[in-house]
Amino acid sequence: MQRHILILILCIVLGCIQISSADYPNMIGTWFSDDGLVYFLDDTIEEASNFEDIWVFDMQKDHVISGLKTFFMPGGTTVNETLVGIFDPDGKTISFIDQSGGWAKGTFIDSDTLFIALLTPGDNSMKADTTMALTMTLHRQENV
């Protein structure tokens, strides 16, 4: 009897698992932004657009991805930061954290398009104030 109950519990638990590693989208590759707005916070709030972000994911293990993002600050400073992302169980949403402590949420629009909402507390070591809120859309680079 106990054996049947154990098997029943095991079947129920396995039946509740809704996603497998094969269900997470493959993120490996280069992703470019093509639009977005950024708000720099200081004594005032400054809105800016026409920026470019490049995110390169070179590792994915099931629901965890990592890589490097490159972006350009006002005045031409290039910034490179490592980042890690973790898929939510739905396989459509990713939470990111980057090297400077910025947090982002990514939501898939389609398999090659990712909407990003990013918040970063700033980095006092940089010359420019980097406390900001940002939205952008990343597009996967097509294989050439």
Range of the domain at 129: 2-140
The pLDDT, as a whole number, for residue 137 is 93
Q: Is 126 in contact with 77 (CB distance < 8 Å)?
A: yes
Helix (H, G, I), strand (E, B) or coil at 9: helix
Residue 21's alpha-carbon distances to 9, 63, 67, in angstroms, are 23, 7, 19
Dihedral sign of CA atoms 60, 65, 68, 72 in order: positive
DSSP symbol at 101: S
The token pair that represents 83 in the structure block: 């980042």
Range with the poorest average pLDDT among 44-53, 54-63, 68-77: 44-53
Tell me the pLDDT tens digit for each residue of 78-125. 989 999 999 999 999 999 999 988 899 999 999 999 999 998 887 665
CATH of the domain at 9: 2.40.128.120
Query: Which of residues 72 and 88 earns the better pLDDT score?
Result: 88
Question: Into how many domains does the chain fold?
Answer: 1
Query: Which of residues 113 and 45 earns the better pLDDT score?
Result: 113
